Copies of this chain bind each other. A is one copy, B any other.
Amino acid sequence: MKVVSTSKSHGGIQGVYSHASEACACDMTFAVFVPPQAKDGPPPVLWYLSGLTCTHANVMDKGEYRRLASELGLVIVCPDTSPRGPDVPDEKDNWQFGCGAGFYLDATEQPYAQNYRMYSYITEELPALVAANFPVDMSRQAIFGHSMGGHGALTIALKDPERFKSCSAFAPIVQPSTAGWSRPAFEKYLGADEKGWRAYDTTLLVEDGKRFPELLVDQGTADGFLQDGLRPWLLEEACKKAGIALTLRMQDGYDHSYNFISTFMDDHLKWHAARLG
């Protein structure tokens, strides 16, 4: 692991790191914020998964998580959203596929299957690297994310509810297998047989019996992707049927940007801190 940069912030350290990823067969960059409490023992760790087009840097720059993470004593890990590099197959000018659009799944189709393995990267390789290199209590993990990263957080938590004490999302893509901006990517990554897509679709995972005790979701009413891409009512319906305690908050006048995320960041950090103990 290589240290790209470190900088003191709100009493803790905001760092950026890179490493040669085995899962993604390329160099990967990620950000970790370590709060001042780490000197007294390993704090819990909260994973933040970002949305389409983002790198580790967007939420690090604009998410406004450090002040409260410092108060609450949370390590915040912000991974990249896809493999990157000259050898990684991509579709330039398509922001919904390829670089910046990994969708937190393991691709099965060529030529993507070698690099686009973000599910393995986020659930196995990066946690092992973080556990080995940072002061973190891996018995206390939580996960959240935005948009495509909300999809990532929800699907990952549903498939491993024992590992995460809590899960939340900002404006998540709750049914990527039917949304216009994600269907084409799913087909290219996972093939035409939609059975294989169910493992990466929140509402279908719930339909197939996966459970997480409670979820917090914030959604802006002025979000331009609300009607076609996000459709939180599909999650509401699935959770109602399954008995999952979903707190869905429609936030009046908020859009899809980091202005929305940063406004409700404090609420999400408090939600997770209360459950991480």
Contact = CB atoms under 8 A, between A and B. Distances in A.
A109 to B, nearest CB: 37
25 contacts: A7-B255, A7-B257, A7-B259, A7-B260, A8-B222, A8-B253, A8-B254, A8-B263, A9-B259, A9-B260, A9-B263, A10-B259, A10-B262, A10-B263, A11-B263, A14-B259, A61-B61, A61-B258, A64-B64, A64-B67, A64-B262, A66-B262, A67-B262, A67-B263, A67-B266
A240 interface: no
Contacts of A258: 61
Chain A residues touching B, majority SS: mixed
Contacts of A61: 61-62, 258
A9 to B, nearest CB: 4
Interface of A: 7-11, 14, 61-62, 64, 66-67, 220, 222, 253-255, 257-260, 262-263, 266
Contacts of A8: 220, 222, 253-255, 259-260, 263
Nearest to A261: B9
Contacts of A253: 8
Contacts of A62: 61-62
A61 B61 CA distance: 7
Question: Which of A8, A61, A222, A253 has the most B CB atoms < 10 Å from its CB?
Answer: A8
A7 B262 CA distance: 12
A7 to B, nearest CB: 4
Given A8-B220, A9-B262, A66-B263, 6 more contacts: A10-B259, A10-B262, A61-B258, A62-B62, A64-B64, A66-B262
Contacts of A14: 259
